[in-house]
């Protein structure tokens, strides 16, 4: 992931936290996490996050599901390094 896309993703999520400067990120090996936001993102910001290379784990993982979900406000956002 390019540094600009990483930073822009975090800047996009920041206003959706009640404490925008709180502890909202984590990392594991080659993956960064931005924890679940306090408020749902707008559809435009969801599309922006996807276009920047951010994703939510477990979205559309169930091949038997008929739902084509692009966003779940109860899940973290993630990206690979």
Residue 26, SS3 per DSSP? strand
What does the pLDDT look like over 11-50, one tens digit per residue? 999 999 999 999 999 999 999 999 999 999 999 999 999 9
Global confidence as pTM: 0.86
What does the pLDDT look like over 48-80, one tens digit per residue? 999 999 999 888 655 554 556 789 999 999 999
Please name every residue paired with 78 in a beta bridge, in sequence order, or none if there are none: 33, 55
**Confidence category of residue 81, pLDDT binned at 50, 70, 90:** confident
Residue 34 · residue 24 · CB < 8 Å: yes
Helix ranges, the chain (H) = 3-13, 43-51
């Amino acid at each position: 992931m390019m540094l600009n896309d990483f930073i822009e993703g975090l800047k996009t999520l920041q206003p959706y936290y009640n404490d925008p400067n709180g502890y909202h990120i984590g990392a594991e090996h080659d993956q960064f996490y931005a924890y679940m936001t306090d408020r749902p993102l707008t559809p435009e910001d969801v599309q922006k996050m996807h276009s920047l290379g951010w994703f939510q784990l477990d979205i559309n993982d169930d091949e038997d599901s008929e739902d084509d979900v692009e966003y779940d406000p109860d899940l973290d956002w993630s990206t690979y390094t």
